Amino acid sequence: MTMDPTEIQARARRRLAMDRRARKEPRYLRVIGRYVSAGLLEANHPVAEHAEPITVEDVLYVGRLEPRVLELLPAALIKTPRMFVIPKALPADLKAVVNSLRQSKEPADFRGVKGAKLLSWLSRIGRKNKLPSRLKSFRLQAEEQRLLERVSQRLQLSETDVVRKALRELAAKELLADKK
């Protein structure tokens, strides 16, 4: 591949002119302004911050020019949903990614962004290190319910946290036992 540097520059300038026109579009300005305002992106040039919610459709459109907004979108939909006007039905590929992330599973690649990268943002935006939780229901007998309430009061933890703590301690004990 040998191209004349002057030709490269001339063609790049034409493409850059197109990019610059796209960057002046209101939806580009809204989306980038919202991401910067939310602290998800940082720029080395002036960006008019935008505080109002943005549409997912606009983000997907702007993502063709600035894929970083796509990289952050699925995790942001879960962790900072107020940033967006969320439609009743998300596009199928985005919905599948969001569903995977809600279960803390690595999703499929999304519009050129690796699944592992999409997952890595989940604990790094919004409330840090807080991952989505899922509802699981169990039936307890009255005596077990009373026991749970007593332990919860004694440890000053919520009943959910008591179950979490007990589960971790049991798992640690069992895993250690396996290693011995």
Partner 1 sequence: MIRRIAEVLDAWVTQTNLEAQAEGMRRLPPCHIRVLGQMALLEAGSRLSLLATNDVDVYADYEYPIEVEFKRLLSLEGKELDPVGHEIWMPRETEYVHLFKGRFIRLSVADSDAVLISKAARAPDKNRSLLTEYLAGGASQRFLSLATKYKVDLERFL
Query: Where does this chain bind partner 1 (CB under 8 A)?
Result: 1-3, 5, 8-9, 11-13, 15-16, 19, 32, 39-45, 65-68, 71-72, 112-113, 116, 120, 124, 128
Tokens in use for 9? 């520059």
Kindly tell me which of 15 and 88 has the beta carbon lying closer to partner 1.
Answer: 15
Phi, psi of 149, deg, nearest 5: -65, -40
Q: What is the three-class DSSP state of 113? A: strand
Are 106 and 100 a contacting pair, CB within 8 Å?
Answer: yes
Question: To the nearest whole angstrom, how small is the minimum distance from the Cβ of residue 10 to partner 1?
Answer: 9
CB count in 10 Å sphere of residue 72: 25
Residue number, 39 or 143, with CB nearest to partner 1: 39
Compute CA 172 distance to the chain's CA centroid, rounded to the nearest angstrom.
30
> Looking at beta carbons only, is 72 or 98 nearer to partner 1?
72
Smallest distance, Å, CB 122 to partner 1? 12
Report the residue number, 62 or 162, with the smaller CB distance to partner 1: 62
| Residue at 133: amino acid letter | S
The CB-of-55 to partner 1 minimum distance in angstroms stands at 20
The answer to whether the CB of 94 falls within 8 A of the CB of 74 is yes
Tell me whether residue 105 or residue 164 sits nearer to partner 1 (CB atom). 105
Q: Are 133 and 105 in contact (CB under 8 A)?
A: no
Whether the CB-CB separation of 118 and 101 falls below 8 Å is answered with yes
CB 166, min distance to partner 1, A:
29
Packing angle of the helix pair 26-37, 5-23 (nearest 10 deg): 80
- Residue 136 C-beta: closest distance to partner 1, Å: 28
